[in-house]
Structure 1
């Protein structure tokens, strides 16, 4: 389960991190639906096993995990075959500085801007833990919605594996509730 949670965290960091955007996003509570796919190798099997383990978590353990993540600025609202659904908060300061959550120093991934327009960012990335290389893009639909995708190549149990991910993010409202912005 630890590997798959690390992969889910890595996916979120990739989807939300990166260069500054040119589109004016709304501050407040956002929800992101992220889906990841890994071929048919050992990594895909590990991800499938993690989904089953998370789905079978007793209510008390699930609540503890959700509370821990909320303190870190992430609210998990769904885990399953359709991916991970989570909430995050963009503060007015983050919007003004064009920073997305999880965009922190030392996160383990370096993103290099390839191109940027008013509605799109393309980047390459290199991650240390787990070691991976890839590319991604973010498309800004409007101030209350954006989509993203990424592709990663990584070694897992001695084999080169490929992970593809995509996400859809939408603004839910001005108030973030218990989910604090990561600043």
Structure 2
């Protein structure tokens, strides 16, 4: 269970929270994620995806509804990845933040140089850290590469992640914005 918790936290922290909102449009964003992991993390990612695919339609809908209440929609992505939809408000853009900052996590962003920016993060629960680079194609698209290290059941695990974010439109529909921490 700790392994699944670590995986879920990593997805929320990294997938929905690492891109800086510099010059990004508010509205509905789709973030496609491809991950490669070592050891138990890699096995857990493959197992979680297989379990989601094998859920009966009513259970899959219940899981999707539960996540939608938290501002996240999951869908399958070609190549074994996942797709997350996130609603970004104008406040998030103005505060230069995309996703929810999880308790116990510290993010550091470098100054943007041209269309690229470096970042890093450190979290205490689960213990993890990572660094990466975001390349902005436009206010409606970005690419991110990141490497993370976490500890699961006493063993270090390494995860490589690639995200592609694209703006879908100004209307978020039924997807609610993620709750932002007070500054």
State the TM-score, normalizing by the size of structure 1. Answer: 0.85
Aligned to 1:160: 156
Change (3 A) 1:140 1:53: same
Aligned to 1:64: 62
Aligned to 2:108: 112
Note the C-alpha offset of 1:169: 0.7
Aligned to 1:42: 40
CA RMSD between the two structures: 2.3
Asked if the contact 1:19/1:113 (under 8 Å) is kept, the reply is no
**Which of 80, 91, 94 is the matching residue for 1:93?**
91
Aligned to 2:133: 137
Could you list the runs of 5+ residues in structure 2 that have no partner in the other structure? none
SS of residue matched to 2:137 = strand
SS of residue matched to 2:42 = helix
Q: 1:146 & 1:51 partners in 2: Cα distance?
A: 24
Asked if the contact 1:11/1:165 (under 8 Å) is kept, the reply is no
Corresponding residue pairs, total: 179
Q: 1:148 & 1:131 partners in 2: Cα distance?
A: 22
SS of residue matched to 2:71 = coil
| 1:26 pairs with 2:22 | no
Change (3 A) 1:26 1:49: same
State the TM-score, normalizing by the size of structure 2. Answer: 0.85
Note the C-alpha offset of 1:178: 0.4
| 1:11 pairs with 2:22 | no
**Moved >6 Å (runs of 4+):** none
Q: 2:49 & 2:78 partners in 1: Cα distance?
A: 6
